[in-house]
Structure 1
Amino acid sequence: MSPIQIEVLDPVKLPLVARLYKSYYRSGKAKKDELTIAGSVDKQMIAVVRFKSVEENRLLTGMLVVPEFRSQGLAHRLMSYCEQYVLQSGDFCFAYSELESFYQQHGFVTLGSDSLPNTLKGLFERYSQKKSLVAMKYG
């Protein structure tokens, strides 16, 4: 396999992300006002993560690695890129509980939902009604 190429995605390429989500992560919706980081192999997009602003906070959301490319360390490479170029102290994520240790390896710490800013606390409560999520903060 060729090495993964990681880049901040130009918003004009969001239809590619939408197509990827439609195939593998139906609840994901890429938006122009979000920061989108994409990983590609041989010019094929195979991984994506988005950062959305929620008032004065930023939330890592919508991370996906195409199933046939999983278990090859690509998510770790994508997160390492984000650690180096994107993540800022105080960024948040709502991780699936089974991925808590993955995000901890990349500088996130687990929080009680009461420690979230109010705007994120409401989102977390809504999202976690249907999914087993853990609130986390970077830095």
Structure 2
Amino acid sequence: MKSVINAIPVDPIWFPLVKKFYQAFYPSGKPNKAEPLWVIKDGANILCAVRLKPLDQCLLLTGLVTHPRHRNQGIAGQLLQTISEQLTRQPSYCLNTPELTPFYTRHGFIEVTDEALLPSELRSRLQRYRIKQPRLIAMQYHKKTPT
């Protein structure tokens, strides 16, 4: 039987380990001590991490990464479920590629089809990011009802 491992906010003492985790498995996802970070860990091993970047008018979920040996086991979904309270406190978004849309849709995000509705800071960030990733899309979190 698989044990349930809860997601926790990152304590500052864990920051160096989270930084190493990102460097190893998602080098472009550079964590910042000033941003809320959440992880699922098993003992001293980080299995999954995510950053919640506060912007002026919203929250940007970014840098969701799972250790390669623990992918496709529902851990990232568990992490998103745990932080759903933080995501409902203010408008919350993620920017991702179309391949990830089904995953985020299952976890309460919907695609923003009219980018004019995005907060201005997020809209300009999306436009900048699309220079390197033209297929990038924006999704907004909407609290899911239990099924």
The alignment's TM-score, normalised by the length of structure 1, stands at: 0.91
1:28-107 map, 5 Å: 28-83=29-84, 85-88=85-88, 89-107=90-108
RMSD between aligned residues: 1.5
3-state DSSP class of the match of 2:34? Answer: coil
Offset at 1:21? 0.9
Q: Which residue of 1 aligns with 2:132?
A: 130
Identity of aligned residues (%): 33
Q: Is the 8 A contact 2:22 2:30 kept in 1?
A: yes
Q: Which amino acid aligns with 2:31?
A: A
Alignment coverage as a number of residue pairs: 138
| Whole-angstrom CA distance in 2 between matches of 1:65 and 1:27 | 14
Distance 1:90 1:126 in 2: 21
Whole-Å separation in 2 of the counterparts to 1:101 and 1:115: 22
Contact 1:3 1:41 in 2 (8 A): no
Distance 1:56 1:42 in 2: 36
Question: Structure 1 unaligned runs (5+)?
Answer: none
TM-score, normalising length from structure 2?
A: 0.86
Report the alpha carbon displacement of residue 62 of structure 1 after superposing the two structures with TM. 0.6
Query: Where is the strand percentage greater, Structure 1 or Structure 2?
Result: 1
Partner SS, residue 59 of structure 1: strand
1:136–1:95 Cα change, 3 Å: same
